[in-house]
A and B are shown apart, each in its own frame.
Chain A
Amino acid sequence: MNTLVEKYIKKESLPYIFCPGCGNGIVLNATIHAIEALGIKEDTACVSGIGCSSWIPPYLNMDVMHTIHGRAIAFAEGLKLSQPKKNIIVFTGDGDCLAIGGNHLLHAAKRNINITVIMVNNYIYGMTGGQKSPTTPIDARTKTSPYGAMDEPIDGCGVAISAGATFCSRWTVGHPNQLKKAIREGITHNGFSFIEVLSPCPVQAGKSIFKERDSWKIIQRIKENAVVTSKWEGGDKEGKMTIGNFKKELKRKEYTEKIQNLKDEIIYKSNGR
């Protein structure tokens, strides 16, 4: 067995809950490589919400919180504030992060708190059986949009950037090396990091959106429909979805660091009195 697998995966929890062809395995792989490269396994905790992508961390041989729908970022903020020196990685999905948990994304980004959010976007509610999600393309026929989705999809990276995220990347599972690097950078970045991963769901999105059951073909379609840009200039370019490392801002101070400075100041003042 691969030594990384032995180190990071709880063998007794296997097999995975994921369907064949799911993109979650690639995200898990990229995250494990990033954590291993940084050598931070003992100092890292993972938090996830509800949905397919939120089943990524429970298999990890690490400290993990598998929480309630939409609130992973809120749990992560509490954990981070209680242990400001540790790394917190949040796994979430398009529904978990942008629908029910949208408010928490906005405010965590606004605070610039040092957590890394990995949002796996498969364009659909997979676990409940293929209903419309906030990123489902317009006109797509899903179980809850049988006449076609009426509303425009939302761009997670656009939301995160405009709310104040200081690190933002988007890649597809067809870019495993770039993804690995982005996750590594996101973890080391001192501030709120948002990484979106475009991922195939051959079972649900394959049925209703891509009309294609072959995972690899869906990945190719996602890749073909994406264009790499080096900085954020909006969610699409020439009708294609932008991907790449969009933003890395170092000027804004990180939230827990601000609190620490404030605490030092308060204690200094009270001692001086």
Chain B
Amino acid sequence: MLKQKVIEIHGEKVIQGNEACSEAAIHVGCKFFAGYPITPSTEIIEYMSESLYKNEGMFIQMEDEISAMCAILGARWGGKKSMTATSGPGFTLMQEALGYGIVTETPTVVVNVQRGGPATGQPTFSSQQDVYQAKYGSHGDYEIICITPSSVQEMFDFTIKAFNLSEKYRTPVILLTDEIIGHMRERIIIPDCIEIEEKEYVKRCEEPFGRDDQHIPHAGNFFEGRNILVEGQLHDEKGRRIGHIAQKSGEFIRALTGKIRDNHKDLTDITYKYLEDADIAIIAFGSVVRSAERTVKMAREYGIKAGLIKVNIIWPFPEDEIYRLAGHIKTVIVPEMNMGKYCLEIERCLKKSKVISVPKLGGNIHKPMELFEIIKKEKNLQ
């Protein structure tokens, strides 16, 4: 259930993306941060190291990203909302513990400020190369919620959303942003009131991992006299291992993925512009949306019926909504700062449209003119 929280110091200000993310986390009630410094996410750990102690929270700089991910899961079972922030190599190190968070249905938020990879890659340059790692990075079958902000304002708003969704669905949520958004300074408006998900649960519930009709397990914390067993093996409603029983294990995985798959409508978040009469559209997420939006405006000024689809929650893939919005559009352009990854999902979904992947490698964002040239070429307007 969403509850209102008043923010005393609200209004306009100019801040950095990483700062906006940290500030939103404090407002939404994050009381625990564990992390390890890594470019370009470091401003978040710096901000949290200063502000959490002042806000009845706990901060710890861990020895590596593996332990940082473990510590935030431990802290959540202690009853504190928790978060970590990292980038490329650190995100890779977190994957095993992230899987543990998913299987034990622990709400938490992991921020990945993407940089170029693989390996040490490009520490100071932006990329969107981790879109698949965010979804498939840990081993085994699971579903994840992954949110991609495209402005500093959205860094603030979507951090709150990430915490709320993690609590609602009891699962780790990935805030997948990139160096451009993380380091950009923009004017944002801190609202005077935000909504916070607060789950009501049966305190003396005997089955902490028993599910409601949406497959979401009952919540609970340690030290409430409930004797909770948090088990990394596949487990039954009491936490006892069932990994050696094929039928029960299958049912568990179906429920674990079902709580996200079956609720895909609630987890669809797309904004769109100029789509009414569009015969060509750009589908983008993250920082690339900024170039895409400019391109679409340029095309409109030129008299081309171009539209924009901005995907805010990229995983679970909003298949139905993308088809509803763009199923009839002849040409769809998918610019990404990677070798062309998310476009594969779009191609799978929009079988009747011509899907053009516009990869961008090296660390620079697409220039609006580059995308505009592609639109012109498609329209035979050279």
Q: B227 in the interface, Cβ–Cβ < 8 Å?
A: yes
Contact B78 A267 (CB under 8 A): no
> Which of chain B's residues have a CB closer than 8 A to the CB of A66?
229-233
Q: A178 in the interface, Cβ–Cβ < 8 Å?
A: no
Query: Known contacts A68-B70, A77-B74: does B222 contact A45 (CB below 8 Å)?
Result: yes
> Which of chain A's residues have a CB closer than 8 A to the CB of B70?
67-68, 71, 74-75, 78
Binding site for A on B (CB under 8 A): 31-32, 34, 53-54, 56, 58, 60, 62-64, 66-68, 70-80, 82, 96-97, 100, 222-223, 225-233, 240-241
Q: A253 in the interface, Cβ–Cβ < 8 Å?
A: no
Contact B71 A77 (CB under 8 A): yes
Cα distance, A272 to B61, chains bound together (Å): 29
0/1 per residue, A231-273, Cβ < 8 Å to B?
0000000000000000000000000000100110011001000
Contact A65 B53 (CB under 8 A): no
Contact A79 B240 (CB under 8 A): no
**Which residue of A47, A58, A103, A270 contacts B74 across the interface (Cβ within 8 Å)?**
A47
Contact A65 B74 (CB under 8 A): yes
**Which residue of A42, A65, A103, A262 contacts B223 across the interface (Cβ within 8 Å)?**
A42
10 tightest A-B CB contacts, nearest first: A82-B78, A78-B74, A78-B71, A74-B67, A74-B70, A75-B74, A82-B75, A79-B74, A78-B75, A63-B222
Query: Known contacts A68-B100, A71-B97: does B232 contact A42 (CB below 8 Å)?
Result: no
Contact A77 B60 (CB under 8 A): yes
0/1 per residue, A69-98, Cβ < 8 Å to B?
001011111111111001000000000000
Q: A6 in the interface, Cβ–Cβ < 8 Å?
A: no
Cβ distance B45 to chain A, nearest Cβ, rounded Å: 15
> Which of chain A's residues have a CB closer than 8 A to the CB of B227?
61-64
Contact B100 A67 (CB under 8 A): yes
Contact B67 A77 (CB under 8 A): yes
Query: Known contacts A13-B240, A79-B222: does B54 contact A270 (CB below 8 Å)?
Result: yes
Cβ distance B80 to chain A, nearest Cβ, rounded Å: 4
Contact A259 B58 (CB under 8 A): yes
- Give 23 A-B contacts (CB < 8 Å), ordered by A residue: A58-B229, A58-B231, A63-B226, A63-B227, A65-B230, A66-B231, A68-B100, A74-B71, A75-B70, A75-B73, A76-B74, A77-B74, A78-B34, A78-B73, A78-B74, A78-B76, A79-B74, A79-B75, A79-B77, A82-B74, A83-B222, A107-B63, A266-B53
**Which residue of B82, B223, B226 contacts A78 across the interface (Cβ within 8 Å)?**
B82
Cβ distance B303 to chain A, nearest Cβ, rounded Å: 57
Cα distance, A61 to B231, chains bound together (Å): 14
Cα distance, A270 to B78, chains bound together (Å): 28
Binding site for B on A (CB under 8 A): 12-13, 42-43, 45, 47, 58, 61-68, 71, 73-83, 86, 103-104, 106-107, 259, 262-263, 266-267, 270
Contact A64 B79 (CB under 8 A): no
Cβ distance A32 to chain B, nearest Cβ, rounded Å: 14
Contact B58 A79 (CB under 8 A): no
Cα distance, A259 to B58, chains bound together (Å): 8
Cβ distance A236 to chain B, nearest Cβ, rounded Å: 29
Cα distance, A144 to B71, chains bound together (Å): 32
> Which of chain A's residues have a CB closer than 8 A to the CB of B78?
78-83, 86
Interface centre among B32, B100, B233 (most CB of A within 10 A): B100
**Which residue of A43, A58, A67, A263 contacts B53 across the interface (Cβ within 8 Å)?**
A263
Contact B229 A71 (CB under 8 A): no
> Which of chain A's residues have a CB closer than 8 A to the CB of B31?
82
Cβ distance B140 to chain A, nearest Cβ, rounded Å: 13
Beyond known contacts A78-B74, A78-B82: 15 more, CB 8 A cutoff: A58-B229, A63-B223, A63-B227, A66-B230, A66-B232, A68-B97, A78-B73, A78-B75, A78-B76, A78-B78, A79-B75, A79-B222, A83-B222, A259-B53, A263-B54
Contact A81 B225 (CB under 8 A): no
Kindly report which residue of chain B lies nearest to residue A84, judged by CB atoms. B58
Contact B232 A74 (CB under 8 A): no
Contact A68 B74 (CB under 8 A): no
Contact A45 B223 (CB under 8 A): yes
Cα distance, A81 to B59, chains bound together (Å): 8
Cα distance, A259 to B61, chains bound together (Å): 13
Cα distance, A106 to B77, chains bound together (Å): 24
